[in-house]
Structure 1
Amino acid sequence: MREPIIHHEHPELEYNLWGNNHLKYKGILFTGTIFFDDTNPVSYVEYKNGEYDGNEIAYHQNGQLAEKNFYHEGRYISGKMIYENGQLRHNSENENIIFDEDGLITKKNNVWYYKSGKARLIAEDLKTEIYTEAGDLAILIETVRDDSKRIPVFQTTYYHQVLIKDYNNLTDHIYLYPEDNFEFRQLIFVHVNAWIIEVFRSVNRTEAIHIVNKMISESDNRLKQNLDYRIESVEKTFIHNSKIFIKLLEKGEFDNNDHNFNRSFSKLIF
């Protein structure tokens, strides 16, 4: 460890509230090591001139190494993350692969996977495909170039019967690491809500409202489980926003779709 070695709650440390940089000790940009004694071994991070510089080492409560990162002048250079059971989650040398606690691939490049190994979401330059666990295509987002206007136009296809049957494949928390569920849920709900809007516009308004209420009920049931606080926050926010979503649907806020304004087209396939 780079000296001096200071406890992270030392009263003469001045933290930057907006980030990890510009840490000061006794009014001077800090060079040394900050340690955290809530784990055994202790976790620590090295600084130089107020910036992360050197090792950042963190441990789980059971003593298992959790993170080992290396920085140079505030810039992340390399590192790895490890689960409490010792399974590697992520290594910067294989930066496009994320494993779960069982050693199964959660995400590789721009593809998210189910625990079964089947693709859940495939993101490419000009299209995104979202699948159910059974392997059925549920949502297809394509980018269509308009050379005359030089503005990309997005065309989304919703496979209604597939979504009605298995939409919860897309919304369930199937990953063991909370951040992965958080990231995927934030990504997927935009598309699921857009599907519901299309159902409301062109199929059956009662059915659309029923789908949202069913999703709210499912989130209520998830909240009865022992969820990570970040996932619990996602569920509570979803319930709150979904109730507002229903009111907006009922007021007709989504009845019109100006393609010239939002540069997107949608269609339902039955």
Structure 2
Amino acid sequence: MLLLFSILFLIAGIFCVGYTILIISYSGAGTAFLWFWILAAIGSFLAFALFTLLHTKHVFFHRIWYYAFSVLFICGAAVFLLVEGNIFYGGMGKAAPKADYMIVLGAQVKGRTVSKALKNRLDTALKYLLDNPQTTVIVSGGQGRGEEITEALAMRNYLADKGIDTERILLEDKSVNTYENLVNSKGIIDSREASDSSSVKVVVVTNRFHVFRALSLARTQGIKVVQGLGAPNDDILTLHYYVREFFGVVKDVLQGNMKWYGHVNVR
């Protein structure tokens, strides 16, 4: 059993090192959440060394410790798979036409240019907006490190260049995370609706890995009639994004920012 654990941790460590190198080569050492793969690699190699040492020294443990470790591992894996299942399924939803508002969530801007992830979101939003000319779009995102303009302004410029009338584009340029994206965007909707805004139809556009959390946050903040529209993920970074999103969901649930709804694309 010790030898099996040793081999598994060695494989995990090699994989984490390889994936870390791939991420750095593809998107740079400043990629958000890169630290996870580095720590995972270090932890895996330390565990490999520990279990190898115990095996070579012929150290044996009572069966209860193996059972305890197995139960903890299975419980952790079950929670991870439950969350990831909702994240994956959430990104498969389709948005019905004729929404009143669309909220496009911001992502990294490189100087004044939208990143690939943000371009995917904007291209997905663009198709819907061209098909539904009555929909008003809120582009949501403040200004982060390395960004010369706000994400919202970069998004408005991109959509305007593609033919969307700027009068249809509302800027939310203060938010720094998904929670603030939805809170501030709801504030804009509320300010424009003379009556109760709870019946307003809203579509949230983000990358597929992000749809589940975005919808849960939106519904928790009182956006009741809301659907998700998932943009393509970056193929190379897909695993990275889905693992990162697991921690994002857990964080927002623990902080009370979102309730656990499971994925429901409300129409």
User: TM over 0.5, yes or no?
Assistant: no
Higher share in strand? 1
Larger Rg: 1
State the TM-score, normalized to the length of structure 2: 0.29
State the TM-score, normalized to the length of structure 1: 0.28
